[in-house]
Amino acid sequence: MASTVKVRFRSYLPGSGFDSAGNPKQGKTRVVGRISVTSYNGQGGEPLKPVDVGLSVIDAIRLRVSDEAAGDHVSGKSRGVIYSASTGHFYLFTNQMTTGALTGYTATATETLEFVAEGDSARDVELT
Give the separation between CA 62 and CA 9, rounded to whole angstroms: 15
Length of the chain: 128
Q: Which long-range contacts (CB under 8 A, 24 or more apart) does 99-104 make?
A: 104/42, 104/43
What is residue 1's predicted lDDT score, i.e. its pLDDT?
52
Q: Report the half-sphere exposure of 100 (CA within 13 A, side-chain side).
A: 0
For the segment 110-128, the average pLDDT, to the nearest whole number, is 81
Query: What is the signed CA dihedral for 111, 2, 30, 91, rounded to 10 degrees?
Result: 60
pLDDT tens readout for residues 17-32:
777 777 777 778 999 9
Taking the chain, what is the end-to-end CA distance rounded to the nearest angstrom? 38
pLDDT of residue 94: 83
pLDDT tens across 59-83, in order? 999 999 988 776 566 667 788 899 9
- Kindly give, in sequence order, each residue whose CB lies less than 8 Å from that of residue 93, ignoring residues fewer than 6 positions away: 79, 80, 81, 82, 102, 103, 104, 105
